[in-house]
Amino acid sequence: MSRVALIAGSGALPGLLAAALAGAGRPPLVARLEGTPVPVGEGAVRFRLERLVPFMDSLSDAGVTEVVFAGAATRPRIDPEAFDARTAQLVPRLLAAMGQGDDGALRGLVALFEEWGFAVLGADQVAPDLVPGPGVLTGAPGAADEADAARAAAIVAGLGALDLGQGAVVAQGLCLAVETLPGTDAMLAFAALHDPALRPNPKGARGVLYKAPKPGQDRRIDLPAIGPETVAGAARAGLAGIAWEAGGVLLLDRDATVAAAAAAGLFLWSRAPDDGR
């Protein structure tokens, strides 16, 4: 059986995928970009972008034929003096990719791995149970919440077309925050600063966090994710619940996330992308 390399970033996802692969009898070779903290054992192979070609060669030598990218990663600082001769030939492509948005940068990296003969897997292929189908997992979104989710979905689609972010917070039709480079936690922290008394109806709908992939996104990489920390942030922001595009968002630690939402009185809604529920 071919070997899988897990290119791991930070967060819970790499550990979940490593466990899923091990459970399927395919313990992965775990690798991480230097400077990225990865909570997946102590034996992770470290690599630098400036030595990408030797790293990919080493994967091939280890029998790796498939690669999965998982977890958050920050854009590394490039040291021009650290390039080996073969990777230096890729500098124009690497810099062009890194000069784009997150999706563009990841597409460029995936293309290089594919050119080296690796099949790139999506997290949902490795652990399909992490991607819920349509339905309400806990709570009960009302008509106003459904309208806010629809408005937020339209905003996220607009953001995604510009390769900006994968989330938005909407309350009573008003956009309180959108996701940009700092991520979901920062977006929710910003939304928490809004005084509910300033909304059209202070006693009306409390608002919804909505997440979805970007239009046209390569879903093998950087799928949006929701977990217990997301629920905690939404609760601090005083929201009514969290909705996301069914089939397009990873739900991490499902039992804990659902339990946290139920305890906080938030709904969790895996929303069909075409017509709501």
Lowest mean pLDDT among 57-71, 75-89, 111-125, 235-249: 75-89
Q: Predicted confidence band at 189 (pLDDT cuts at 50, 70, 90)? A: very high
Pairwise pLDDT comparison (104 vs 245), residue with the higher score: 245
CA 92/CA 89 separation, integer angstroms: 8
The SS3 assignment for 45 reads strand
Same fold across 3-126 and 131-271: no
Give pLDDT, residue 42.
55
Return the structure tokens found at 228: 């217990």
Q: Predicted confidence band at 195 (pLDDT cuts at 50, 70, 90)? A: confident
Give pLDDT, residue 73.
72
* CATH number for the domain whose boundaries are 3-126: 3.40.50.20
Give pLDDT, residue 277.
41
For residue 5, with 0-12 CB atoms within 10 Å meaning exposed, 13-18 middle and 19 or more buried, which class applies? buried
Give pLDDT, residue 164.
84
Share of the chain above pLDDT 70, in %: 93
CA 214/CA 117 separation, integer angstroms: 27
Mean pLDDT of the residues in the chain: 89
Pairwise pLDDT comparison (1 vs 259), residue with the higher score: 259
Cα→Cα distances 268→14, 151, 210, 228, 240, Å: 23, 17, 10, 12, 9
131-271 CATH choice from 3.30.70.20, 3.40.140.80, 3.10.20.440, 3.40.50.720: 3.40.140.80
CA 88/CA 82 separation, integer angstroms: 9
Tell me the per-residue pLDDT of 83-101, one tens digit each, with 9 for 90 and over. 899 998 888 887 777 666 6
Judge contact between 275 and 149, C-beta under 8 A: no
Domain borders along the chain are: 3-126, 131-271
Tell me the per-residue pLDDT of 26-49, one tens digit each, with 9 for 90 and over. 999 999 888 776 555 556 788 888
